[in-house]
Amino acid sequence: MPIPPTMDELLDDLLKKIKDGTYPPGSQLPSGRVLADEYDVSQSTISRAVAKLRKESVLVGRPGRGVFVAESHKR
């Protein structure tokens, strides 16, 4: 059984997927539950990672719709 990623590894992997076009600008991220299953972490860990990337303007939340990759971001 693989070891779950650290928060830094999780953030790095999400950023890598944004940069390589897996999640292009304007695209919706999978749900917290799907990401938690994919990374083998808790949904609260995913929530903290998403909150950090939202604070850095990499992701944007749209109430009732989900979390999306910002059209332009600094990181």
- Supply 3's token pair: 């070891």
pLDDT at 74: 53
| pLDDT (tens digit per residue) in 21-74 | 999 999 999 999 999 999 999 999 999 999 999 999 999 999 999 999 998 755
Does 8 have pLDDT greater than 80? yes
Count CA atoms closer than 13 A to 72's CA, side-chain side.
0
List the domain range (segments joined by +) for residue 36: 28-75
Structural domain count of the chain: 1
Q: Which residues contact 18 (CB under 8 A, 6 or more apart)?
A: 24, 58, 69, 73
Q: What CATH number is associated with residue 74? A: 1.10.10.10
